Chain A
Amino acid sequence: MFQERTLDIFVLLILVIVPASAVVTDEPFTITLATRAVIFALAGVGLNLALGQGGLVSFGHAAFFGVGGYAMGILASHAQNYTPIMETPFLIEGTNSMPVIWLVAIVSSGLVALLVGALSLRTSGVYFIMVTLAFGQMFYYFTISWPAYGGEDGLSIYVRNQFPGLNTLDPIQFFGICFALLCIVLFLVDRLNKSPFGLALNGAHQNEERALTVGINVYRLRLVAFVISGAITGLAGALFADLNRFVSPTMFSWQISGEIMIFIILGGVARLFGPVVGAALFILLEHVLGGLSDYWFIYLGVILLAVVLFAKGGIIGKLAKREAGHGQ
């Protein structure tokens, strides 16, 4: 048994050591795998705020992941074709600057989350799951039938977007960018969880009535949490699109929503590093088991079942001391 913080630092160290050693042994594919894990972890950290802290089981976070991805795709495709996004009433041009793309991804997925959340948070339980799933599917079919940006075929971006002072096409440098963003978001989410906002969110998750009677506006609280959650997942979507230099409607598919949820359940619901551990394990399994069989999800299913049955609180919950846990 470890202190949860010790375990967290250990996880971060592994995430640094694996790609660093891959640089030494010259295996860029390992670095790409680590980058995928980091980006998925970021998406999971986003969902964990809503699902873990807030108890809002959103089955539609692929919508925000996809909006972030398309924010990158649309901006970068206009930049590479030298065509403006729109000319009237004012000129908006594409860009291949990562910070600008991230900002657009965060804002646009946050706005979508505001819309989805404002409507779906009026329901709860199974209805909430179904309404968020429905929104995710709406985006999926919308992008399939929208020919301007590739429709079903998606959009290819030939050169990775730029970050000042770095060569983003070098795998380890791009990994560094994603890893730094993950660390910043983890730090901010940790602060948020310990603020009155995060505590009230946790309280409302446990007992809505009790939170209302101390004067907490539960609906607004959850909406804000949902927007932040969606914005983080949107940022991850932009990074994911940049990793692949490709966006397609599959980013909106319900399987993505399910996978993000699997990261959290594997790692530990409401644990700060739960989605990080879960995403890393998922990528590892995908690589190892995926090599054995195309149907590796069968094995994943067995592992998921084992975690749910025998490791309440996920892998972190199993390895860390109980006292450290919130949201159990």
Chain B
Amino acid sequence: MNLLEMKEISASYGASQALFGVDLNIEDGQVVALMGRNGMGKSTTIKVICRLLKHSQGQVQFAGHDIAGLAPHKAAQLGLGLVPEGRRCFTNLSVYENLYASARAGAWDFAAVHDLFPRLAERRDQLAGSLSGGEQQMLAIGRALMTNPRLLILDEATEGLAPVVRQEIWAAIARLKQTGDLAILVVDKTLRELRQVADKVVILERGVSVWHGDMDTLTPEIRDQYLGV
């Protein structure tokens, strides 16, 4: 059974419709890349999953529950862990406090997060606002993991980071994949790095999911058609 199932999702911001029919399925333990050019509806799709935006048509199910009527925090408690794009941490809390504030019992605890990102252990008592961009991103991922999610959603996780730091984040995502039962939805623009981790790809164009399949079957032609500039 699918962990996340979206069928024919439409959604609007006020009068302007952003999604016109998105299908997206994720199985347990699967890593899915959500791709598309700018403004094609990637972030909107994530907002719909996390219940930050109500969809107007279609169905969305998570872990066997219809989550259409749920408040965002209830959906999160079911096991959705979002790593949002943009400025990502609670900046005036320390690293420890950021993790502590969102902790829920489970396999992911301080030790596990520190093992994944040793730098967070070093910066334990530093205010999140004074961390580098990469460290803040690590903290945002750590914070989402502390909620012990079943699906981790990474929205533009490496945007605007230095190449070395990007590699570090991608390596961490690869390690997360190896641990097994955590499903991951990644939004990113760089295919080269996504290839290392993603099993499946879903491509959006103008608010419609136009292509989906295994990462291996993504041909250069499809790439040029939907993703090329």
Contacts and interface: CB of A to CB of B under 8 A. Distances in A.
A321 interface: no
A200 B72 contact: no
Interface residues of B, number: 29
A323 interface: yes
B101 A327 contact: no
A323 B90 CA distance: 15
Nearest to A201: B101
A215 B73 contact: yes
A214 B92 contact: no
A328 B130 CA distance: 13
Contacts of B10: none
B92 A212 contact: no
Contact of A323 (B74, B84, B127, B144): B127
Given A199-B97, A323-B127, A212 B90 contact: no
B82 A213 contact: yes
Nearest to A328: B92
Query: In terms of DSSP, what is the predominant structure of the interface of chain B?
Result: mixed
A164 B13 CA distance: 63
A124 to B, nearest CB: 16
A156 interface: no
A206 B76 contact: no
B104 interface: yes
B72 A212 contact: yes
B127 A216 contact: no
Interface in A187-243: 194, 196, 199-200, 202-203, 206-207, 209-218
B208 interface: no
A216 B77 CA distance: 8
B93 interface: yes
A78 interface: no
Contacts of A318: none
A200 B97 CA distance: 9
B103 A212 contact: no
A154 to B, nearest CB: 43
A194 to B, nearest CB: 8
A312 interface: no
Contacts of A206: 90-92
Interface string B51-91: 01000000000000000000111101100111010001011
Contact of B103 (A196, A202, A211, A327): A196
Contacts of B211: none
A215 B104 contact: yes
A323 B80 CA distance: 33
Contacts of B101: 196, 199-200, 202-203, 214, 216
Given A196-B100, A196-B103, A213 B76 contact: yes
Contact of B84 (A194, A196, A210, A215): A210
B44 to A, nearest CB: 14
B178 interface: no
Contact of B143 (A196, A209, A214, A325): A214
Contacts of B104: 215
B102 A215 contact: yes
B173 interface: no
A196 B71 CA distance: 21
Contacts of A202: 90, 92-93, 101
Nearest to B99: A199
A160 B59 CA distance: 66
A216 B52 contact: no
Contacts of B90: 199, 202-203, 206-207, 210
A323 B76 CA distance: 31
A217 B93 CA distance: 19
B76 A212 contact: yes
In the complex, the 5 A-B pairs of residues with the closest C-beta atoms, listed nearest first? A215-B76, A199-B101, A212-B72, A214-B102, A213-B82
16 contacts: A196-B100, A200-B102, A202-B90, A203-B93, A211-B73, A212-B52, A212-B72, A213-B52, A214-B82, A214-B101, A215-B73, A215-B77, A216-B73, A218-B73, A325-B92, A327-B92
